[in-house]
Structure 1
Amino acid sequence: MTQQLRAASAAEVYERILRKEPLFILDVRNEDAYADWRIEGESVTSFNVPYFDLLDGVDSVLGKLPQDVPVLVVCAKEGSSKFVAEQLVEAGLHDIAYLAGGMQAWSEYLHPVKIGDLASGGAIYQFVRVGKGCLSYAIVSDGEAAIVDPARMTDVYVQFAKEQGVSIRYAIDTHLHADHISGGRRLAEAVGATYFLPPKDAPEATFVFTPLEEGNTIAVGRSVIEIKPVYSPGHTIGSTSLIVDQQYLLTGDILFVASIGRPDLAGKAGDWAPDLRKTLYQTYRQLSPELRVLPAHYATEAELDSDGRVSARLGDLYQVNPGLRLEDDAEFRKAVTENLPPQPNAYQEIRLTNMGKLKPSDAEASEMEIGPNRCAIHG
């Protein structure tokens, strides 16, 4: 029986990883691209052989591929992986697929998951951008929605709102992002929503926005789900957290489940380190420890729960998060300013894009965002 070559979508691959089903990945990108960023998971095994080493045939890798586990061939944009996968099928291997759209599609896939219901009615949802570790949110109530820290793939939120039977009233960025291009302004323009952005992060913005400032309350739906901004600088000077319905704390890039935000992406690590410390060790400590922390990023699969959600109780993080256990001021300052992980790909150009100063094409935007987010002090 002739084997059929199959294209596997990013969604299909992620669902398999979530179910912890074995998957073997042959990544045919260049060695440096593979070392920088790849598909990972508890049930994933992968190894790298550059495409150019396989142009004359796949005999060299046949003995390294399993016979009883699905094999997924991966490249940057699909073409090379499809070529290699075809050769593997011709060589008689079974259960071979290639990643449709390549790592570009993996980087841009958003997986929606419900976080929970809200006490005053409605619900909150998390969109997990699995290939980049970005997290965005939809707060839904009585026919309305607010989208927080949206990715540039805004069609996902529009489709979600349509399926939920709600209209998007607000698009909110907790800060000026440096690891990915915000979809906030584009989304607001597309659906006629109000776009919020912290004014201290946007003095050079070339567009009009509504200031996201502490002291104001944003209401979603007739049941009045309240979103209360809390000024929380440190990752950026304007970073503003959101308390939703007294249940959830959307921390942006200030606090993650396994780490804390880095203060250096605007070149002001030394200046902003005291702000970061004050936010984490004073402002947040005054909040209820029962709040569920919902960050804007995660770094590893270990931060996902069994349902693929990223969240944690604030009080618990003060016991286990290494960034919240640096009581000595000098020790904290050293941790957030020295020996930090590499900075995100094209982060300076991304910041300028989010200010409206650069207008990349879709292809250029996709290339700028390739790679992990790297917004935390711990790699």
Structure 2
Amino acid sequence: MSVKAMTAKEVTRKVMEKKELFILDVRNEGDFADWKIEGEKFEYLNVPYFDLIDGVEGIMDKLPKDKKVLVVCAKEGSSIMVAEMLLEAGLNVSYLSGGMKAWSEHLEPVKVGELSNGGEMYQFVRIGKGCLSYMVVSNGEAAIIDATRMTEIYIDFASEIGATIKHVFDTHLHADHISGGRKIAEATGAAYWLPPKDAEEVIFEYNALQDGNEVKIGDTKINIHALYSPGHTIGSTSFVVDEKYLLSGDILFIDSIGRPDLAGMAEDWVGDLRESLYVKYKELSEELIVLPAHFMIIEELNADGSVAKKLGTLFAENHGLNIDDEETFRKLVTKNLPPQPNAYQEIRQTNMGKVTPDVDEQSEMEIGPNRCAVR
């Protein structure tokens, strides 16, 4: 009997539904410590593959006999070999199809809610990378915000629901993942929008996304209002959609706030970040549902798998929004930063159109956790 594969989608459902799963991760200890599959009810054992080449007898007492064991490696090859040995030893075991590469690239669409005059808001959860992107749909037309490089899922999803993609937006020039916005626009004939203050070095044409822009989607006058909110980047732009949703980009997250240093400008941009969060966002309705471009920890997921919370709740609960002293705030966002994202400079160059890495290079550039937030 051959060992069975478990797909990234199946693991995602276990995460979102808070199911139990025991994971045997056979990557190196450093890779596991840096980035792993996370679930509220998941258990883990990390044993490097090279310690298991001669057999799994040494770890059998550490593995559950009454639960399914999922073996995980970088690209699936090593996990298949280990899973086969565990199957022969009598365990209920499977391996992650495509390994952590597949986990990094999986997108799970989640319906966030309805629009006032008909239409829907969808969130695409990139569970292994912490990226969140969006599709606004109204009367057969769609707009996409902060798309990842896995462009087919957006195009296919729009086709499935009978919507034509008319506009594609990036809230800012991303540094942690490669944008799929321009590629989607080229494939569909949609307009591509980018904040001009983030686009001074780009080598392609785009529509200038500026404060006060209103883009109508469909016939129901669903307007997307652009709100200039610098801080994470100098061009960072938020969106108020249907007077109901606040797409905050990488300025505000559910559990944290955006970091201002990915262009080497932390000291210069920290004042912009505070202005955006403490002045501009304070002027908005607290009833707006915040939809960020990333999430940091798995606990931020709601029961339906979405990542969303009212702005008023975040002003009450998010520590980054409750620092009265400006100097204390400055220290938090300039001194308390996690490591830079993997290959972030190369990703910025790619998103400017200056370099064109192939598919394998793009995948390698994005490997690792999301690091867009202040700790």
TM-score (norm 2): 0.99
Structure 2 counterpart of 1:77: 75
Q: Does 1:182 align with 2:206?
A: no
SS in 2 for 1:63: helix
Q: Does 1:7 align with 2:5?
A: yes
Deviations 1:233-279 (A, max 9, x none): 00000000000010000000000001000000000000000000000
SS in 2 for 1:145: strand
Displacement of 1:100 in angstroms is 0.2
In the TM superposition, what are the counterparts of 1:105-124 in structure 2 within 5 Å?
105-124=102-121
In the TM superposition, what are the counterparts of 1:129-144 in structure 2 within 5 Å?
129-144=126-141
Look up the equivalent residue of 1:31 and give its one-letter code. Answer: E
Q: Does 1:42 align with 2:40?
A: yes
SS in 1 for 2:329: helix
Look up the equivalent residue of 2:342 and give its one-letter code. Answer: N
SS in 2 for 1:230: strand
Structure 2 counterpart of 1:31: 29
Structure 1 counterpart of 2:206: 209
Q: Does 1:88 align with 2:93?
A: no
Structure 1 counterpart of 2:374: 377
Aligned 8 A contact 2:2 2:84 in 1 = no
Structure 2 counterpart of 1:283: 280
SS in 2 for 1:139: strand
Look up the equivalent residue of 1:78 and give its one-letter code. Answer: E
SS in 1 for 2:62: coil
2-structure distance, mates of 1:139, 1:368: 29
Aligned 8 A contact 2:16 2:301 in 1 = no
Q: Does 1:364 align with 2:361?
A: yes
Structure 1 counterpart of 2:51: 53
Deviations 1:170-196 (A, max 9, x none): 110000000000000001001111000
Structure 1 counterpart of 2:269: 272
RMSD: 0.7
Deviations 1:92-115 (A, max 9, x none): 22x200000000000000000000
Q: Does 1:240 align with 2:237?
A: yes
Structure 2 counterpart of 1:292: 289
2-structure distance, mates of 1:231, 1:17: 34
Count, aligned residues: 375
Deviations 1:288-320 (A, max 9, x none): 111100000001111111110101110111110
Structure 2 counterpart of 1:318: 315
Aligned 8 A contact 2:338 2:371 in 1 = yes
2-structure distance, mates of 1:372, 1:132: 6
State which drifts further: 39-48 or 265-274. 39-48
Structure 1 counterpart of 2:333: 336
2-structure distance, mates of 1:22, 1:312: 26
State the 4+ residue runs in structure 1 displaced beyond 3 angstroms: none
Deviations 1:320-339 (A, max 9, x none): 00100111010000000003
Deviations 1:24-56 (A, max 9, x none): 000000111000000111110011100111111
2-structure distance, mates of 1:64, 1:252: 42
1-structure distance, mates of 2:112, 2:371: 24
2-structure distance, mates of 1:159, 1:144: 14
Structure 2 counterpart of 1:97: 94
SS in 2 for 1:223: coil
Q: Does 1:260 align with 2:257?
A: yes
List alignment gaps of at least 5 residues for structure 1: none
2-structure distance, mates of 1:183, 1:335: 32
TM-score (norm 1): 0.98
Q: Does 1:226 align with 2:223?
A: yes
1-structure distance, mates of 2:372, 2:15: 24
Look up the equivalent residue of 2:258 and give its one-letter code. Answer: G
Displacement of 1:16 in angstroms is 1.6
Aligned 8 A contact 2:258 2:372 in 1 = yes
2-structure distance, mates of 1:254, 1:64: 42
1-structure distance, mates of 2:61, 2:48: 17
2-structure distance, mates of 1:230, 1:155: 29
Look up the equivalent residue of 2:330 and give its one-letter code. Answer: R
Look up the equivalent residue of 1:11 and give its one-letter code. Answer: K
Displacement of 1:90 in angstroms is 1.6
Look up the equivalent residue of 1:369 and give its one-letter code. Answer: E
Q: Percent identity?
A: 61
List alignment gaps of at least 5 residues for structure 2: none
The partner residue of 2:62 within 61, 64, 67 is 64
1-structure distance, mates of 2:171, 2:117: 23
Q: Does 1:20 align with 2:18?
A: yes
1-structure distance, mates of 2:284, 2:40: 34
